[in-house]
Amino acid sequence: MPARRADPATLADAIANGDRAALARAITLVESTREDDRATAERLLAALLPRTGGATRLGISGAPGVGKSTFIEAFGLMLIGAGRRVAVLAVDPTSKRAGGSILGDKTRMPRLSRADAAFIRPSPAGTSLGGVARRTRDAMLIAEAAGFDIIIVETVGVGQSETTVADMVDLFLLLIAPGGGDDLQGIKKGIVELADLVIVNKDDGDLAPAARRAVADYRHALRLLTPAAGADAVEALAVSSLEERGFDKVWGIAVARLDAARASGAFAARRRAQALAALWRDIGDGLMDLFRADETAARLLSELEGQVSAGKLTPSAAARQALAAFRRG
């Protein structure tokens, strides 16, 4: 049944009963940009909302080549071995030139993709900032309603807009590779302040000494960063995704931080702040959609774009004119 023809109540029941095909259809539905699909998706999410909120939400980011997929596969298998059910929402970069994305995460996590207690969903990043698909939060809620108690969001990479993923997860893990000269050269204070844990991957083979030096360097650097009031200091440790070693320490730190946050009330406060951040992101996205659909603004935009590209008008002045036309209707 095509996603847009699905009855929200029927689809919600199927998801709650563990129907994986229904889960995939529901995520396709919330990712759709069709107006009729958006209305159906909102009814579906309303039906599922009472079943959400109980999962642990983890964000994992790192530069391309750091080994995010290998790390997530090994970490996910460890969690499944401990009796958890793991959903991975992997955001693939979208080509600016062709507009497509590879969506190959299942081929990069073959063992995890075959596990009954795992669900992997690749989604194109599109034009979303922060390496997170526009409807990733909705997809998280659907996976929670389906009974997955660990939700992992893998972002495209590290950048200034990674606050997007930090605004929708309980813990943010920053993955780093050893070597490559000055390991600390790539560390950015803004990103580290978002991270709850800095993980140096590839602590194995010839890279093991470099990985351990990198951990020592990062620990020293992290001590120089003053955490926000009431926040725990960022920790650094090494793991080997190849040898599947060190993941028990990662999970132990994660559990300890989450338990402390729940006891202090910080966990609930963070979830409330995330919901409000999602509200304002959706308002911004909705206003942009309305602006682009406005006929008056669209007619003026063509002329303004020509003037801006020719250097006859500044972008800020053109934007003010376009917004004034939009307000006038």
Same domain? For 188 and 120 the reply is yes
Q: In whole angstroms, give the CA distance from residue 9 to residue 15.
A: 10
Q: In whole angstroms, give the CA distance from residue 155 to residue 10.
A: 31
Query: In whole angstroms, how far apart are CA 70 and each of 66, 94, 143, 158, 255?
Result: 9, 21, 22, 17, 22
Give the pLDDT band of residue 227 (cuts 50, 70, 90).
Answer: low
Q: In whole angstroms, give the CA distance from residue 328 to residue 124.
A: 35
Say if 270 falls within a structural domain. no
What is the rounded average pLDDT of the residues 210-224?
84
CA 230 from chain centre, in angstroms, equals 25
Q: What length is written for the chain? A: 329
Same domain? For 59 and 44 the reply is no
Q: Give the CATH number for residue 100.
A: 3.40.50.300
Q: In whole angstroms, give the CA distance from residue 142 to residue 151.
A: 10
Same domain? For 169 and 39 the reply is no
Whether residue 71 contacts residue 199, with contact meaning beta carbons closer than 8 Å, is answered with: yes
Q: Is the confidence at residue 325, as pLDDT, over 60?
A: yes
Same domain? For 174 and 252 the reply is yes
Say if 269 falls within a structural domain. no
Give the pLDDT band of residue 245 (cuts 50, 70, 90).
Answer: very high
Can you give the residue range of the structural domain that contains 225?
53-263
Say if 120 falls within a structural domain. yes
Its pTM surpasses 0.95 = no
Same domain? For 115 and 254 the reply is yes
Which residue(s) pair with 91 in the sheet?
Answer: 123
Give the pLDDT band of residue 164 (cuts 50, 70, 90).
Answer: confident
pLDDT value at residue 214:
87
Of 3-7, 266-270, 299-303, least confident by mean pLDDT is: 3-7
Q: Is the confidence at residue 241, as pLDDT, over 70?
A: yes
Q: Give the CATH number for residue 46.
A: 1.20.5.170
Say if 193 falls within a structural domain. yes
pLDDT value at residue 54:
93
- Average pLDDT score over the chain: 83
pLDDT value at residue 40:
93
Same domain? For 74 and 171 the reply is yes
Q: In whole angstroms, give the CA distance from residue 238 to residue 158.
A: 19
Residues 16-41 pLDDT 10s:
999 999 999 999 998 887 888 888 99
Same domain? For 235 and 283 the reply is no
Which is it for the CA torsion 276, 282, 285, 286, positive or negative?
A: negative
Say if 110 falls within a structural domain. yes
Choice between 169 and 1, residue whose per-residue pLDDT is larger: 169
Question: Which amino acid, residue 34?
Answer: R
Which of 230, 263, 296 marks a domain boundary? 263
Q: What is the domain count for the chain? A: 3
DSSP label of 157: -
Say if 271 falls within a structural domain. no
Of 175-179, 272-276, 324-328, least confident by mean pLDDT is: 175-179
Same domain? For 190 and 81 the reply is yes
Give the pLDDT band of residue 286 (cuts 50, 70, 90).
Answer: confident
Give the pLDDT band of residue 299 (cuts 50, 70, 90).
Answer: confident
Same domain? For 253 and 116 the reply is yes
Same domain? For 235 and 182 the reply is yes
Same domain? For 178 and 228 the reply is yes
Residues 173-194 pLDDT 10s:
988 888 644 455 455 556 666 7
Same domain? For 225 and 310 the reply is no
